[in-house]
Structure 1
Amino acid sequence: MKDIEIVKYTDEFKQEVNEFIINIKLHEFDIDNVTYNNQPDLKDIKGTYIDAGGQFWLALLDGKIVGTIALTRMKNNNSALKRVYVDENIRNMKIGKKMLDHVIQNAHDDGIKSIYLGTIDKFEAAQHFYRKNGFHRIPKEELPKDFPLVKVDNIFYYKDI
C-alpha cells in the first residue's frame, strides 16, 4: 500500500469530494435528506473555503479520496474546523491525525491563533480524537460570534495553536 498523500483541493476533485462526504453522511452517520443541493458549501468549495482565506485538504490513497478536512477563516485570527471525514475502512491508519496536523501547521503559518469546532454528542470517537489532539471542550456561549454554527452540533471544542 502506498503512503497517504495530503493535497490541496482543486475543482477537478469536486464530484468525488461530494460523493465521498454525502455517502458518509447518508450511510455511516444515518443523516437523512442529505443531498448535494442542501450542502451549499460543497457547491463552491473553492469559494467557500480557499478563496475566503481558509483551507480544504484531501487525503489520497492510490489516487482515491479517503479523507477530507477543511478550515474556515474567522475574525481575530480564529478559524473553524469543518468537513473532517475519513473512510471508515481505513480509520486505523492515522489519516485523521495526519490531516489535522497538516491543517494546524498551515493555519499556524497563515497566522491563525485558534481553531474551533462543533460536533454531535453521539460522535464519541470524534470527540475522543479531538481531545487526544489537544482540543478542549467549551460551552456554546464561548464560541466566537462569527463561528459558523450547524444546527445539529451540540458539543464544541477549541485549541490554541
Structure 2
Amino acid sequence: MNNEPIVKEYSREYQDQVVELILTIQQAEYNIPITKGDQPDLMAIEDFYQTGNGNFWVAVYNDKVIGTISLLDIGNRQVALRKMFVERDYRGATFNAARILLNHALRWAKEKSVKEVYLGTTPQFLAAHRFYEKNGFESIDSDVLPENFPIMAVDKKFYRYTVD
C-alpha cells in the first residue's frame, strides 16, 4: 500500500479544507493569534498565488487535504515560499508529506526558470527550520531579502534556496 499523499494543483473545491487546515495549525497548534481575515490571500488563492511563476498545491490523502504549499511570484525570477503546512498526523517519514510538497514546488520552480526561492518563518517553528536546512535552504539575514519579498509580521527567520 502506498502511504504517500498525492500533490494536486489547488482548485476551488479545496478552499474550505485549505482554510481549516491552515487556521487549525496556526491557532490551535502554535497559538498564533491570526484569523482568516488576517490572511485575505486564503480567500483568493487563484488570483494571489496562481499567476506568473507562482502556484499553490495541496497534498491529498484519502480525499482529505493534509498539506499545502505555495510559491508567490515576486518578480526577477524569484519566488516566496508561502503557506507550507502539514497536518500533524502526516508529518515525518511515514507519509513524507512535507518533503513531497517541497520537492514538487522546487521542481515547478526549476521548470519555470526561477533562480531563487525565499521564505520567512517564525522563530518557534524549530522543526521547520531543521526541515528547510536539511533540504538545501540557507539561513539568511533579512537585509539580504529581495525588496519585493513580502515580510509577514510573524516572520523573524529567513531562508534562501538557489535553484540549480
TM-score higher than 0.5 here? yes
Residues 1:160 and 2:145 aligned together: no
Query: Using the alignment, how far apart are the partners of 1:6 and 1:122 within structure 2?
Result: 27
Q: Is the 8 A contact 2:53 2:114 kept in 1?
A: no
Partner of 1:18: 19
Partner of 2:136: 134
Deviates more, 1:132-141 or 1:89-98: 89-98
5+ long unaligned stretches in structure 2 = none
Q: CA deviation at 1:51?
A: 2.9
Q: Is the 8 A contact 2:57 2:69 kept in 1?
A: yes
Q: CA deviation at 1:49?
A: 0.1
* Aligned residue type for 2:143: E
Runs of 4+ aligned residues of structure 1 deviating over 6 Å after TM superposition are: none
Q: CA deviation at 1:52?
A: 4.7
Q: CA deviation at 1:128?
A: 0.2
* Aligned residue type for 1:88: R
Within 5 Å, give how 1:37-76 maps onto structure 2.
37-76=37-76
Partner of 2:88: 88
Q: Give RMSD over aligned pairs.
A: 1.1
Q: Paired residue for 1:150, among 143, 149, 152?
A: 152
Query: Using the alignment, how far apart are the partners of 2:148 and 2:110 within structure 1?
Result: 20
5+ long unaligned stretches in structure 1 = none
Query: Using the alignment, how far apart are the partners of 1:52 and 1:105 within structure 2?
Result: 15
Query: Using the alignment, how far apart are the partners of 1:39 and 1:150 within structure 2?
Result: 10
- May I ask how many residue pairs the two structures share in their alignment? 160
Name the SS for the 1:156 alignment partner. strand
Q: CA deviation at 1:86?
A: 0.4
Query: Using the alignment, how far apart are the partners of 2:51 and 2:107 within structure 1?
Result: 19
Residues 1:107 and 1:142: Cα distance change in structure 2 (over 3 Å) = same
* Aligned residue type for 1:24: I
Deviation string 1:47-106 (CA, Å, 9 cap, x unpaired) is 000035411000000110000000001121011000000010121221101100000001
Q: Is the 8 A contact 2:122 2:157 kept in 1?
A: yes
Q: Is the 8 A contact 2:69 2:82 kept in 1?
A: yes
TM-score by length of 2: 0.94
Name the SS for the 2:41 alignment partner. helix
* Aligned residue type for 1:17: V
* Aligned residue type for 1:68: T
Query: Using the alignment, how far apart are the partners of 1:29 and 1:122 within structure 2?
Result: 8
